[in-house]
Amino acid sequence: MKLLITGGAGFIGSNFIRYILKKYPARNASHSNAGGPDYHIINLDLLTYAGNPENLKDIESNPNYKFVHGDICDRKLVDSLMPEIDLIVHFAAESHVDRSILNSTDFIRTNIIGTHTLLESAKNNGLKRFHHISTDEVFGSLELNWPSFNEKTPYDPRSPYSASKAASDHLVRTYFHTFGLPITISNCSNNYGPYQFPEKFIPLIITNLLENKKIPLYGDGLNVRDWLYVEDHCAAIDLIIHNGRIGETYCIGGRSEKTNLEIAQKILKLMDRKNDQIEYVADRPGHDKRYSIDFSKIQEKLEWQPQTSFADGLQKTIEWYKNNPSWWKNIKSGEYQKYYAKQYGKNGL
């Protein structure tokens, strides 16, 4: 089984690669893999600001892993990889809402044109199996008393980021209906855990506190998100690519709805800090009020549900950032980009 993982040097992609290689280790004389699939992974990543090879430093020497530095919009490169691939798991995306508000161009290019390039190549190289990673943000914003998003919720994106992801979802579905490409899609809630880029909400709070800085909170801090520990997300994707029904979409949630203020206060308490370290800042334009996922379909059809409570996941996440200061300090300082620009060239860095 040969997998092409796009964006595998990013947060969720790197966790997924590590999850798969741990669950399905390479067959050798001392380990038969219990008869399971023997995965060979190609990780295609351009190493833009959020892609960091340090995320996979511990598996660089794994015989079943190969890194390819490149752009999903590069059709020639993608076509050169596709003949040896059985399954594509497409994580690569620009994903930070604030950045999409400041400049949406990269979001249109990567999330729409990049997805189209992969789909065309998959179609023209033997209808390769294609799993597309999407987000709950394509569904828009919920009021506090509205029912949760599910697979039948109409799309209503409200930022350039979510609009670009919505467009990519629609493209993936058209390649199933029009060309018979064997696809599945998953829409997940907010992920958190190890290796998450420190501009994101939870690692930003943790790392700012470790640096004795204030933690910024948009508006009144009462926007609600459903939080999913990244390893639980990886387990759900694993089930979908093995047992999911072709052409179907699966919503993946964490059953952990929290306001941003609650999250900040929980982290402050766990890190023995005071609430006066919160700094309220002007709200984000078009800030969605609430996201919530009804994951009953994947629970009923594939027997998946999150295994990590928010309390346990948050504690593990805090400990990881405490124990890996060089990782996040190099990112916050920009040193990681300087180092990998020398190794891989300026493209993407």
Tokens coding 116:
């189209």
Burial of 149 (0-12, 13-18, 19+ CB in 10 A): buried
What is d(CA 56, CA 65) in angstroms, rounded to the nearest whole number?
10
Q: pLDDT digits over 82-105, tens only?
A: 999 999 999 999 987 888 888 999
Mean pLDDT rounded to a whole number for the chain: 93
Residues 41, 21 contacting (CB under 8 angstroms):
yes
Cross-strand partners of 31 = 28
Token pair 């948009």 is found at 218
Q: pLDDT digits over 231-286, tens only?
A: 999 999 999 999 999 999 999 999 999 999 999 999 999 999 999 999 999 998 88
- Parallel, antiparallel or unpaired: strands 224-229 and 257-259: antiparallel
Q: pLDDT digits over 303-338, tens only?
A: 999 999 999 999 999 999 999 999 999 998 877 666
What is d(CA 283, CA 164) in angstroms, rounded to the nearest whole number?
22
pLDDT given at position 50: 82
Tokens coding 146:
């509205």
Task: Give the catalytic positions in this structure.
Answer: 136-137, 161
pLDDT given at position 345: 63
What is the separation, in whole angstroms, between the first and last Cα of the chain? 31
Which residue segments constitute the domains of the chain, with CATH numbers given? 2-193+229-253+291-307+334-344 (3.40.50.720)
Q: pLDDT digits over 58-68, tens only?
A: 999 999 999 99
What is d(CA 156, CA 317) in angstroms, rounded to the nearest whole number?
31
| Rounded mean pLDDT, 53-82 | 96
What is d(CA 111, CA 151) in angstroms, rounded to the nearest whole number?
20
Run of H or E residues at 86: none
| Rounded mean pLDDT, 196-200 | 93
The amino acid sitting at 227 is W
